Structure 1
Amino acid sequence: MANPFVLKLQDLKNQSAANVATIFSQGNGSFGVQATDPLVASAGTIINGFYEQAPITYGETAYGYAKNHQTIIALPSLRQLQLEDQAGRPAVSLGAQSVALDMATGILTAVYGVSFAAAEPAALTLTVRSLIGEADADLSAYLLDYQVKSLTYQGALTLTKPGLALAATAAAAVDPDDPRVVDRGSKLTSATLASTAQTLTQTITTQTSQLTAQVQMAGIGTDLRRVVQLSPGAQFELTYLAQLDFAPHRDLQPATAATVTALRQRTATYWHDFWAAGEVKISGDEQLDRGLHFNLYQLCQSANRTGAYSIAAKGVSGPGYEGHFFWDTEMYMLPFFTYTQPKIARALLKFRYQQLPQARQRARELGVSAGALFPWRSINGQEASAFFPAGTAQYHLDADIAYAVGLYYETTLDDPFMAKYGLPILWETARFWQNFGAWGERDGQRCFMFHDVTGPDEYTALVDNNYYTNRMAKHNLELFLKYYPQFQACAQLPVTAADLAALQEIAAGIYLGFDPQRQLTPQDDTFLNKPLWPLASTPAANFPLLLHYHPLTIYRYQVNKQPDMLLTNLLFPGEKSPAQQARDYAYYEKVTTHDSSLSRSVFAVLAAQLGYDDAAYQYFLDSALLDLTDLQGNTKDGLHMANLGGSWLSVIYGFAGVSLQDGLLHVNNHLPQKWSGLTFRLKIAGRQLQVQLTKDKTTVELLSGAALEVVIAGQPTTLEAQAE
């Protein structure tokens, strides 16, 4: 039986160096290191929030446009090692012979062939074992063990462990026609703070954003430059500890054998605890079992635990999408953390709270007199989207964040969080909707509507009454009204009785469209009246559409980049009849291209809930293995973090039918025919639960905590507390 915690080079469909570097990247949410070849000078270190800024140049500008690009910096790889033979010739890498990631311990092992001339066979092998610190005390640490073994080499060998040599770093290849990957260039300066035979401490500073990172490289019982004598069959090992700190000039922990041992122990403990809380086991499908383990492992590595930053679209695995944070975090990634790692979920939501001052200012720039509007894409809290139709106009982000706040609270019952952070977010976003929308008439009824908005489907922009936006705004208002009475004394918000009455009226009056003739839920006021995009006759090479057609061409048609209205069926289970859900699913599936990596997981959830076993399985297969198979063709730019979270949603919300309704956990068994079982754990209101599904049985076990009522296949069941 295959070990689901071990991923090897041969498990990848695309074994190019760039793809391998991304797949086997290591991170802890604060920084990440790609699995680059240590003998090739290259970029490969990503620090979350370490970005450069540059003015956005518009051919035609207007009031309120985003002013500055924010682009994550890809720093030189911390894995680099320089080797020279006794004649002074630099080592030539023959590439990776093997790569293996142990996700149970976080240890990555890679073996490279080494020659000193391109035409010669390997004279040495270089084995690199690395781990990144995961415990709170180790978020600046990256540990490297190098083993050099002679195959045929005889003589002196010089090894140098460099610092971050900026001038020697090769830039990654960038496609100028792909807006998802941008290299704007950056002017960095480096300074040496301290240097000894065993330690080098540097600072790296950006020119415009004026951010500084501190890097210390230290040999553990060895020098940064060392000469050794080798003969065939001989080998030796070196250990180095790199420490990255976003607070420069602070004294870093001494790098000693004892600190390294403690780092290894804490990291092993961290991964043990992580899997104990969040592992999902699929029985009867080894490939998908390992794929899901990989997704959850990388999702955890992407999550910032400090509250200072969020999860970028590519996490810390690569520079794609310029390192920006989007709605993906709250809607696709946060549910996993909320249900299994609530401490991390809390930190990610606290980050949004800290961005409220910039969000209030942005709302004013958009002509909204009260409330806050979070930036569509950003690192520092200011809007960085230069294309407002598919950026700023996605106002639904406000409601997405509010939804995440509600899910977190309902899952954890974290009163201090709601009083201090959650309720202020709900208040500011609710006020935004109140002042952004307008009353009007539809079908003889007075309704509250939202005009010129863009929903999650970026192939349809600037429309009236996008169903997803309206439904989420309604939920946003309802959440605030629900929790304000409970937490008003602690939160001390300037809310009046008139405010509450106005919000109640708006929440009840928000327009939610329905087409009685077609018996469909329209995506917006005009979507169903547009001509269908000729998907069948569109050349396969012309997908994704966004790279081959002008936006205005795409906007004229019924075509989805990803599910839009259908997403509400996932987020509000049971709100529509199964028959209505089935009609909507069938219609929108035909017009969806899946050009976004966010698409397939939603279809997997809905297909599973509707009983479409084959479709659910195929959508999940594509989602769970998207990066391992390089399905989108751009994994080299970074992992698709939202899809990683979406694959968990596919299993938990889809195949296990998990939802929270009226404060009760519901579980409904939709296990695929191809699987023999599914096991996972959840944390609900301080309780630890384990859920096991087989083809004919659903078992929910209370592992710790007080008694809890749950609903299994529609039947209320009380889980009794375990005897002490």
Structure 2
Amino acid sequence: MNTNPTHRFPPDPWCLREQALDPATHFLNETLFALGNGYIGVRGTAEEGWSGPAGTSLDGTYLNGFYESEPIHYPETAHGLAKTNQFMLNVPNAKGIGIWLEDERFDPLQGRLEAYERRLDVRTGVLERSLRWTSPQGRTIALSSRRLVSFAEKHLLALEVEVTPLNFAGTVRIVAALDGAVKNLEAGDDPRVGSSVSGASLELVGTEQAGHFSALVQRTRNSGFMLVSATLTEATGEPECRRGNLRLEQVYTLQAVQDQPLRVTKYAAYHTSRDYPENELMARSRAVLEAARADGFAALAARQEAYLADFWGHADVEIIGDDLLQQGMRFNEFHLLQSVGRDGKTNISAKGVTGEGYEGHYFWDTEIYIFPFFLYNKPEIARALLEYRWAGLESARRRARQMSHPKGALYPWRTIAGEECSAYFPAGTAQYHINADVAYSIRQYLEATGDDDWMRAHGAEIVMETARIWTAIGSYDRHGRFVINEVTGPDEYTALVNNNYYTNAMAQAHLEFAAALSDRLAREFPDDHARVVRSMELDPAEPDEWRRAAGRMFLPYDAELRIHEQDDSFLSKKRWDFAGTPKENYPLLLNYHPMVIYRHQVCKQADVVLALLLLSSRFDAADKQRDFDYYEAVTTHDSSLSSCIFSIIAAEVGYADKAYDYFMETARLDLDDTHGNTCHGVHTAAMAGTWMGVAYGFGGMRTDGGTLRFAPTLPKRWQGYRFRIHLRGCLLQVSVTETGTIYSLLQGDALEFTHHGRGVALTAAQPQHEEAA
């Protein structure tokens, strides 16, 4: 991990500015300047493409939830191993616009680039570029471009390019291309990157091209989905249409006048049979493109800005006194919004829609890291994420049967469509805590929204069906304790252990919640209870069994060290030789066989420390401090999910400097590329962890146990900070400065909570309360 990053961008609190074009940073900047809307993701490669050295670009366009599948080949297979992988596809590039000045192609890496700036303003959601370029033969142009991926229309990408000849007149050709000759990044030695597939995964079914319109119709080889990629271009005159192998072009030949701009506007739409019947895809594509052309780019940009104004009005976190941090904060929130599916059929992948790291898979990152951000800022998106889990319940039931569980549901560790895609079960399928993580997010949602309708229709059945797995894999030992053996907790450097503390503690909370939900459903909504009982074939004795297992759950604790043991064997292992491990040997997973790591007392990420956050009210302050001290010393933070959790607990136990340092590792992790792999996509969990670091860490916000609590502190390097949360139909603003904390009820009738243990009640009549520092 690079702990001394160089800040490459000016510290603008709302904008990311690239002021030089450098092949050495191009691959990374393609990720940082990517645009998305939760469905379409477009990496930040310019419209004219990239002619730089090999390995400095991956010109990707992705559709959240659209995937190819392939068999997983094991040299030695076993029953229950994942059989099929799913991976997000690089789909046709619809943004291509080539520019020819007489016989010279515009290429900023040739000739002389005299001025250059690229800007991503997170208030507008538009990527802008302006430059001045002189060709090798001396022709000089000014070029500007704007690009957006529409938040209002999920299938739409729009862009506009303007070229002005500055010292010549003559023929300028504009070549608008739809290029299907794309492929995915092939996997190398890093297991986090790329797919094992080679070659194209999309087969051409047909094309349509006439006038300003082009469309490619393709089908995935194995998963069988159809894709229509279509473009509609606006430029002066009628184009010459050209067709090549998987490439359609509209060529506009224009007579340029010196100092007179030439403009081309291009709209692109993507539709797949995952969303609509195949026979509707082309008509839907045409309709979206015609509507976009009727609106025009300016109207689309205005609609984009209005959408974001509403988002920032609810979700903005203000940091007073640190523009670099403010930039990182808003950049992270913007990318979360760009990455998250909101249709109930898609989720949010570990890399969003910005790159191919982790193959576009969804993990527990959603429920434990990302879900809280949306729950308290855009609850409707949080609900859509839960609807995705509801849509995958049948697949989870099938997975449970594959794992020899006669009843219940087991959610996959990594997936796109609901099937388990993890080929390495010790750090995949063995992470049974995924079930408890899903149940935890449902509990958070119900407590924050009071949405009993969703609980009755979906939530209760998910919670109860997944709870069954704990009584299936757990058992009572000779001391009468309920134990859970042979699982892996959050720490992926410690696999296949007995009684992982996080897993057992979260399973306990899950079982308690499932039993309580069953009781409440039977008491308050008997018809819904009867329906769920029928659907699950629920034995009336099962809720009591859940309560019994929860009550006797074994939670490992070392009386001598007075810490919670990560698992039965963790403390008996030899400590990793941190002093003798060269910096270049981190992350460990890239330099040591898993068995070498598993034999040692070393953590990749927060494990017990994460339980201290999620189940905060079950621990006292002394426990938290001792646990933090012990596990900090053996944790590498090789996972981007780790530093934010350590920051939050450090803030709670009074380690202000550590809290701030860990927070800063998270806040600009991608902007400063501190993990060295942002070129393959942003780290969405760490981005959400930044929001958690402010609200849960410095704001001291906790909601476990059904009560809202705050314990704000102010980092000494800040003048103040402000964030907002949605809760039970209310919008609360928390403002912390050197003089104290102000709570403001911006929407809603009434809200009660505590401030450092003291009760606070806000109402519409008295919407503000101030506490002195």
Q: TM-score, normalised by structure 2?
A: 0.89
- Distance across 2 between alignment mates of 1:91 and 1:65: 51
CA distance in 1, matches of 2:202, 2:121: 35
1:432-471 CA-partner distances (Å, limit 9, x unpaired):
1111211113xxx311111100001000000000000001
1:722 is displaced (CA, Å) by 4.3
Task: Identify if the C-alpha distance between structure 1 residues 14 and 330 changes in structure 2 by more than 3 Å, giving closer, same or farther.
Answer: farther
1:584 has 2:620 as partner = no
1:483 aligned to which of 507, 517, 525: 517
Question: For residues 112 and 386 of structure 1, do their structure 2 counterparts lie closer, same or farther at Cα, with a shift above 3 Å needed?
Answer: farther
1:313 pairs, out of 316, 341, 350, with: 350
- 2:480 is paired with a residue whose SS is strand
Give the deviation of 1:420 after TM superposition. 1.2
Match of 1:16 in 2: 25
The aligned residue for residue 43 of structure 2 is 34
- C-alpha distance 219-166 of structure 1, shift in aligned 2 (>3 A): closer
Distance 2:517 2:435 in 1: 17
Check 1:447–1:105 CA distance in 2 against 1; reply closer, same or farther (3 A cut). Answer: same
- Could you say which residue in structure 2 is the equivalent of 1:217? 231
Unaligned 5+ residue runs, structure 1? Answer: none
Runs of 4+ in 1 over 6 A off after TM superposition: 11-15
Q: 1:46 aligns with which of 62, 65, 73?
A: 62
Give me the whole-angstrom Cα distance separating, in 2, the residues matched to 1:111 and 1:548.
Answer: 43
Q: How does 1:336-485 map to 2 (within 5 A)?
A: 336-441=373-478, 445-485=479-519
* 1:187 positional shift: 2.8
Aligned pairs (5 A) from 1:18-167: 18-40=27-49, 43-87=59-103, 89-94=104-109, 97-112=116-131, 123-135=140-152, 138-163=153-178, 165-167=179-181
Counterpart CA distance in 2 for 1:14 and 1:438 is: 57
Q: What amino acid sits opposite 1:130 in the alignment?
A: R
Opposite residue 216 of structure 1, the aligned amino acid is A
Check the 8 A contact 2:474/2:483 in 1, yes or no: yes
One-letter identity of the residue aligned with 1:398: N
In structure 1, give the amino acid aligned to 2:673.
D
Number of equivalent positions: 713
How far apart, in 2, do the equivalents of 1:722 and 1:210 lie?
59
Task: Please report how far the alpha carbon of residue 499 of structure 1 lies from its aligned counterpart in structure 2 after TM superposition.
Answer: 1.3
Cα distance in 2 for residues equivalent to 1:113 and 1:596: 42
Q: Alpha-carbon deviations, 1:473-503, whole Å to 9, x = none?
A: 1111111122223334325222443112111
The correspondence for 1:493, drawn from 532, 535, 544, is 532
d(CA) in 1 for partners of 2:628, 2:765: 42
Shift of 1:170: 7.3
Percent of aligned pairs sharing the same letter: 38
Letter paired with 1:311: I
Q: Deviation at 1:150?
A: 2.1
Query: Which secondary structure does the structure 2 equivalent of 1:574 belong to?
Result: helix
SS in structure 1 of the partner of residue 267 of structure 2: strand
Question: 2:647 aligns to what?
Answer: 604
Distance 1:170 1:9, change over 3 A: farther
Aligned position for 1:259 = 295
Tell me, yes or no, if the aligned pair for 1:113 and 1:122 is still in contact at 8 Å. Answer: no
CA distance in 2, matches of 1:68, 1:60: 15
Partner of residue 271, structure 2: 245
Instruction: Name the structure 2 match of 1:299.
Output: 336
Superimposed CA distance per residue, residues 126-146 of structure 1 (whole angstroms, 9 cap, x where no aligned partner): 3220111112xx011111011
Aligned with 1:179 (options 177, 191, 210): 191
Deviation string, structure 1 residues 600-643 (Cα, Å, up to 9, x no partner): 10011111111111111111111000000000111010000110
The amino acid across from 1:181 in the alignment is V
Counterpart CA distance in 2 for 1:115 and 1:61 is 60
Query: Within 1, Cα distance between the matches of 2:39 and 2:553?
Result: 40
1:208: which partner in 2?
A: 222
**Matched position secondary structure for 2:565:** coil
CA deviations on 1:219-247 (whole Å, 9 max, x unpaired) are 24655431122244332222111111123
Mapped partners of 2:283, 2:40: distance in 1? 17
Structure 1: distance between partners of 2:688 and 2:74: 35
Q: In structure 2, what is the equivalent of residue 230 of structure 1?
A: 256
Letter matched to residue 65 of structure 1? L
SS at match of 1:537: coil
In 2 relative to 1, CA 703–296 (structure 1 residues): closer, same or farther, beyond 3 Å?
A: same
Is 257-266 or 70-79 further displaced after alignment?
257-266
Contact 2:68 2:220 in 1 (8 A): yes
Q: Which moved more, 1:461-470 or 1:418-427?
A: 418-427
Deviation at 1:268, TM superposition (A): 1.9
Partner of 2:551: 508
Secondary structure at the aligned position of 1:100 is classed as strand
What RMSD over aligned residues (CA atoms) do the two structures have, in Å?
Answer: 2.1
Cα distance in 1 for residues equivalent to 2:689 and 2:764: 32
TM-score after normalising by structure 1: 0.95
Q: Distance in 2 between matches of 1:221 and 1:40?
A: 20
Q: Which runs of 5+ in 2 are unaligned?
A: 1-9, 51-57, 240-249, 768-773
Please say which of residues 16-25 and 190-199 is displaced more in the overlay: 190-199
**Secondary structure of 1:61's partner?**
coil
**Aligned partners of 1:148, 1:205: CA distance in 2, in Å?**
36
